[in-house]
Amino acid sequence: MKERELAICDKDTEYLETLQSYLLKKKPAGFEILVFSSILQAVEASKESGFEILLVGESTYDANVEQVNVQKIFILLENGLSGIREHSALSKYQPMGALIGQVLDAFSLDEGAPGLSGCTKSRTKLICFYSPDRHGGQTAAALCASRLLADKGKRVLYLNLSAFAGFEELLQTKYDADITDFMYFVLKHSDKLLYKLEAIKRTLQGVDYLPPALDYADLREIAQEDWKRMLDALLYSGSYTQVVIDLTEVCQGFYHILDRSDRVYIVTGQTARACAALNQYQNLLLARQYGQIIEKTRIVNLGSDWDACGADPEKLSMSAIGVRMRSVLQEDEQE
């Protein structure tokens, strides 16, 4: 089966080498990366089977581009004075992650863009974090575990399903799209999941994540059946070894996600209220005939000093939470 090919054509060899190095390391959506310093080289290389995507530097572009056998062409604008109007155009000089995100987002919306039918038979491991008593350390523990797994060479995707994650303020960033945009797209175009994932995802210390819902009402409107379909597509996409879900009851797929998880970590405290909430949660699972969820659950107590660094995602792995989660993950590996 032919591998999908993303070609770059640019006379600026320094830019070409930098972008190629970045893409070979990231390998977005599984594309094979090809580079050319002239249009005629690209024309010749595309004759046999063609490319899916071609990026062409504005000053490199010439009429021979129309002879390239390619699904979609993007012009990398340098000064915008060339007047090229025949193809989609993007700013060349921007962060490379943002550039490729824009390319794949536009490609995913192209009706003629091929889907990704070749899903892997090996299933991605699903890990879930939840706190019946709304323990404030749940998200910190989930993020920390994700970072520790990434440090071990795992490919990790983190999904936060809380109503108010506060990530824009905590991470000093701004999101134009979020997990609900990803969900709505994938439900219509599940074969193009990886394109949209690359377009929306962000990365924090080696962990990929989708921006949390900006309006929790959008999250609540997603039906349980839709969560099932999304997980089916994501867990067999082959892009990640672990998906970590930071779960709350806002999600209609609450029980299904817990049931599909390979491991469930319940983050809680030792107060009477926390113990009562945990007991009610477990009794409810038994009443709904979800006793199997309890069997794969581990209770995690972060201790009283967990919040010393809990609000700073950059320091989690070196904090008291990091010490606790490192121990938890090591013990699980030995089971």
CA distances from 33 to 52, 60, 69, 91 (A): 11, 18, 16, 20
Residues 189, 291, single domain; the answer is: yes
- Across 82-106, average pLDDT: 89
User: Would 49 be classed as within a structural domain?
Assistant: yes
Report the chain's mean pLDDT, rounded to a whole number: 90
Residues 100, 146, single domain; the answer is: no
User: Would 236 be classed as within a structural domain?
Assistant: yes
pLDDT higher than 70, residue 10: yes
Residues 149, 247, single domain; the answer is: yes
Tell which wins on pLDDT, 52 or 85. 52
Q: Residue 119 — pLDDT band, cuts 50, 70, 90?
A: low
Q: Residue 310 — pLDDT band, cuts 50, 70, 90?
A: low
Residues 98, 152, single domain; the answer is: no
Residue 229 and residue 103: Cα distance in Å, rounded? 26
Select from 264, 226, 234 the least CA-distant residue to 155.
234
Q: Residue 252 — pLDDT band, cuts 50, 70, 90?
A: very high
Residues 266, 131, single domain; the answer is: yes
Could you tell me the pTM of the whole model?
0.85
pLDDT tens digits, one per residue of 17-26: 999 998 888 8
Q: What integer pLDDT is reported at residue 114 of this predicted model?
A: 67
Q: What integer pLDDT is reported at residue 241 of this predicted model?
A: 94
pLDDT higher than 90, residue 237: no
DSSP collapsed to 3 states, 44-86: HHHCCCCEEEEEEECCCCCHHHHHCCEEEEEEEECCCCCCCCC
pLDDT higher than 70, residue 2: no
Tell which wins on pLDDT, 314 or 50. 50
Q: What integer pLDDT is reported at residue 109 of this predicted model?
A: 82
Residues 179, 280, single domain; the answer is: yes
Q: Give the total residue count for the chain.
A: 335
**In a 3-state reduction of DSSP, which class is residue 83?**
coil
Residue 183 and residue 196: Cα distance in Å, rounded? 10
- Across 159-166, average pLDDT: 95
Please give the residue range of the domain that contains residue 195. Answer: 125-334
pLDDT higher than 90, residue 51: yes
Domain count, the chain: 2
pLDDT higher than 70, residue 308: no
Residues 91, 33, single domain; the answer is: yes
Q: What integer pLDDT is reported at residue 322 of this predicted model?
A: 87
Q: Residue 168 — pLDDT band, cuts 50, 70, 90?
A: very high
Q: Residue 258 — pLDDT band, cuts 50, 70, 90?
A: very high
pLDDT higher than 90, residue 189: no
Q: What is the CATH number of the domain that holds 273?
A: 3.40.50.300
Report percent pLDDT > 90 for the chain: 66
User: Would 257 be classed as within a structural domain?
Assistant: yes
pLDDT higher than 60, residue 1: no
Q: What integer pLDDT is reported at residue 59 of this predicted model?
A: 92
